[in-house]
Chain A
Amino acid sequence: MRDRGIILAGLVLFLGLITFPAWYSVARGATSKGPQLVLPATEKQCVAPTAWMRAWHMDLLVRWREQVVREGNRNYRAANGRVYSVSLTGTCIMKCHTVKADFCDRCHNYAAARGPYCWDCHVDPGLIRRASR
């Protein structure tokens, strides 16, 4: 047992390294809580139930895109019968989630989902607000 010191030091080092992500998160103040989203003040119900939107909003947006660009149909009848104008900026942002940074971005940043490039073309009205300030 002459190597006890080395073995114990190695073990401590190993444990430290393997639990590093946990330490790092604690040090950074990250919590297991999800992102804090700012919900729309004016509307209670999205075009579909929240759980469904959380999982499938990207599919809905692709469907909307095809519907408007290819079929020229700009109306969406939700499950509850209400008809919405199909527009990412005009409906989703201007009518409900007024600050993109407080809704879309928070969740996408949390999930590190940087894939979609919707806003490279579609206009975030926040850009104009910030520019005019």
Chain B
Amino acid sequence: MKITRQGFFWVTGLATLAHAGRKVLAAAAPRRWAMVVDAQKCLRDQGCTKCIQACHRAHNVPQFREPNHQIVWIWKERFERAFASQQSEYTAETFRDKPVLVLCNHCNNPPCVRVCPTRATWKREDGLVMMDWHRCIGCRYCVAACPYGSRSFNWVDPRPHLPVLNTDFPTRTKGVVEKCTFCEERLARGQAPACVEACPDKALVFGDLADQDSEVRKLVRARYTIRRKPELGTQPQIFYIV
């Protein structure tokens, strides 16, 4: 086939347009996973640990009596500790000394990612702060960098400390850092995170902040929300309704 000059310009022009179009589409598409925690709802039953149990069972998180060895992906923290900058002598009665649910904030500007020397932790396009446990060398820079204490280090082999072993998820080894992954493996299957699914009071809402009509987006638009240590500029993506 002989190609004419005009034909050549048509083909290259269309190809350039198609390429640009794909770029635009790709730029518009990224999701932004985020979570809204209704702290009031969560306080209804202060003894409830269903989300914590569901998460730790799903991800083979070991249980240690020794506090220095503890591994946590999601846990409860005293309000004054979780929101240190909001704290005063006159903290509202509702929250004084009360537990607040905390987990990895999947920051928009994650300090843990910046310090990781092996890129074992990185921010995905959908905003999720991921970990590659294969590549973690256990230097614990990320543990030091995270202002929320969301990262735990395996000081000993975690396997003997697992009450039940879940075959759907790997365990970790001694010398590896771990944290909440926003249930990346469940999101891939189109499921909500384990903690969200387990909450009987629907106090945890998960969704795509980039989507105008998503439940999380509507909530942060309608309700006043606070974030942990916003003054650090990490841009946490866990929002609390208080």
User: A-side interface residues toward B, CB under 8 Å?
Assistant: 65, 69-70, 72, 74, 89-90, 94, 117, 120-123, 125, 127-128, 131
Q: Is A65 in contact with B184, judged by CB distance below 8 angstroms? A: no
Is B3 located at the chain interface by the 8 A CB criterion?
Answer: no
Beyond known contacts A70-B132, A72-B184, A89-B167: 19 more, CB 8 A cutoff? A65-B134, A69-B132, A69-B134, A72-B188, A89-B170, A90-B167, A90-B168, A117-B173, A120-B173, A121-B171, A122-B170, A123-B60, A123-B165, A123-B166, A123-B167, A127-B165, A128-B165, A128-B167, A131-B165
Question: DSSP majority for the A interface?
Answer: helix
Q: Which residues of chain B come closer than 8 Å to A122, judged between CB atoms? A: 170
Q: Is B188 in contact with A74, judged by CB distance below 8 angstroms? A: yes
Q: Which residues of chain B come closer than 8 Å to A89, judged between CB atoms? A: 167-168, 170
Is B141 located at the chain interface by the 8 A CB criterion?
Answer: no
- Which partner residue on chain B sits nearest A73 by CB separation? B188
Q: Which residues of chain B come closer than 8 Å to A90, judged between CB atoms? A: 167-168
- Which partner residue on chain B sits nearest A120 by CB separation? B173
Show 17 A/B contacts (Cβ-Cβ < 8 Å), sorted by A: A65-B134, A69-B132, A70-B132, A74-B188, A89-B168, A90-B167, A90-B168, A94-B167, A122-B170, A123-B60, A123-B165, A123-B166, A123-B167, A123-B169, A123-B171, A125-B167, A131-B165
Q: Please tell me which one of the listed residues A69, A74, A128 contacts residue B130 in the complex, with CB atoms under 8 A apart.
A: A69
User: B-side interface residues toward A, CB under 8 Å?
Assistant: 60, 124, 130, 132-134, 165-173, 184, 188
Number of A-B contacts (CB under 8 A): 35
Q: Which residues of chain B come closer than 8 Å to A127, judged between CB atoms? A: 165
Q: Which residues of chain A come closer than 8 Å to B168, judged between CB atoms? A: 89-90
Question: DSSP majority for the B interface?
Answer: loop
Q: Which residues of chain A come closer than 8 Å to B132, judged between CB atoms? A: 69-70
Q: Is B173 in contact with A121, judged by CB distance below 8 angstroms? A: yes
Q: Which residues of chain B come closer than 8 Å to A120, judged between CB atoms? A: 173
- Which partner residue on chain B sits nearest A72 by CB separation? B188
Q: How far is the CA of A123 from the CA of B165 in the complex (A)?
A: 8
Nearest chain B CB to A128's CB is how many angstroms away?
Answer: 6
Interface centre among B124, B133, B170 (most CB of A within 10 A): B170
Nearest chain B CB to A23's CB is how many angstroms away?
Answer: 40
5 cross-chain pairs, A with B, having the tightest CB-CB distances, nearest first: A121-B170, A120-B173, A123-B167, A122-B170, A69-B132
